[in-house]
Amino acid sequence: MTETGTHVIVGLEVHCQLDTKSKLFCGCSTDYRNDGPNTHVCPVCLGLPGAMPVLNRRSIEYAMRVAKALNCTVLHESEFSRKNYFYPDLDKAYQITQYDKPLAEGGYLGIESDEGGEKRVRLTRIHVEEDPGRLVHMGNAERGRYSLVDYNRAGIPLIEIVSKPDMRSPKEARKFLNKLRATLEYLGVFDSEKEGSLRVDANISIKGSERVEVKNISSYKGVEKALTFEITRQKNLLRRGRKVDRETRHFIEARGITQSARSKEQEHDYRYFPEPDLRPIHVQSWVAGIALPELPDARRERFMAQYGCSLNHARTLTGELRLGSGN
C-alpha cells in the first residue's frame, strides 16, 4: 500500500552484466569502456553472415552461481532462442536469449518490507542472453539530430532476473535492487561500478488497472523516481475517470518523468524460435559443485552474533561488499 492507501503492484526485470573477460559467444574482450567505439568487435558480435556463436562456459557458471544463491531451481535442459526485432543497436535484427527453456526458475530474495520485518520477493526465472550495442545520441535522446552506434557492448553476457509482482512501493523496489546488487558483488560475478552494468525494466500497476512497463532505467535511484512518477500519473488518470493504457514507457532521467514509447508488445511479436547454431545445454549436475561465499544475510547474522552489532548497523555494514569484507 502507498501512503494514500492505493494498492500498488510492482515487478522488476533486472538485466545484469556478468563480469567475464570475454563476450558470451565470441572471444572479444569485455574491457571496452576506456577504448574507442567499435574496437572490441568481431564477425560474431557484429552479426556478420556466416559467423557462428560459441558459448562462453564461464558465463553459464556465473549465472548458475547466481541461481543457487537466489534459491532457484536449475532446469535439466535450457535452450537459447532467437528474439526477432529490428533496432539500430541490434545489428543482426535478432537477439540470442532464452525463452521457454531458461537456465533457472523460481527462487526468492529477502528484503526489509515497508511495514518492517523480512519479506520474500519471489522470482520467476533467471535466463542468459547477449547485450545489444549502445546508441550515442548527438544532442539528447529527445531532440538529437542523429545517433551513433557503438557495438563494443554487443555480445556482453547478461542475466535477466525476473521477479514476481510482490513489491508494493518504489521504496521496496529500491531495497530489492540494493540487496540484489550486494548479493551479486559478494558472488564475484558483477561489478556495479562499470557503466551500463545494470539496467531495469519496471512493471507497475494500481490494483484493478492495466500494467505499464517502464524500460531501461539505468540507476537504483532512477527506479524509485520512475515508479514514484508512474504512481502519481496513474492515480491522476484514474481520479479523472480515465483508464490507464497498457503500454511501454521510457524514463527521462533528466526530467524525472516517464514518456510513452509504444503500445506493449506481445510475446508472439518477437517470433521466438530455437537458436539453430547452439545446442541445448544440460548443466543441472554442476549445481552440487558450486561453492557459495558467505552472502549478505549470513554475514549480517554473524556480525550481530560475533560483534554485538545492532540489526540496523549489521545491515549497513553488510549492504556493500567493501564495507563488510573484513573478518
Share of the chain above pLDDT 70, in %: 94
pLDDT of residue 2: 46
pLDDT of residue 4: 47
How many whole angstroms separate alpha carbon 223 and alpha carbon 200? 7
* 78-135 residue pLDDT tens: 999 999 988 889 989 999 999 999 999 999 999 998 887 889 999 999 999 999 999 8
* 114-129 residue pLDDT tens: 887 889 999 999 999 9
Cα 210 to Cα 188, 223, 265, 266: the distances in Å are 38, 19, 14, 14
Grid coordinates given for 289: 559443485
pLDDT of residue 113: 87
Written as one letter, the residue type at 293 is P
* 233-291 residue pLDDT tens: 999 999 999 999 999 999 998 889 999 987 656 677 899 999 999 999 999 999 999 99
Helices marked H in the chain — which ranges? 57-69, 170-187, 220-239, 296-307, 311-318
Backbone angles phi, psi at 22, to 5 degrees: -130, 165
Give, to the nearest 10 degrees, the angle between helix 170-187 and helix 296-307: 90
Are 186 and 66 spatial neighbours (Cβ–Cβ below 8 Å)? no
Does residue 224 surpass a pLDDT of 50? yes
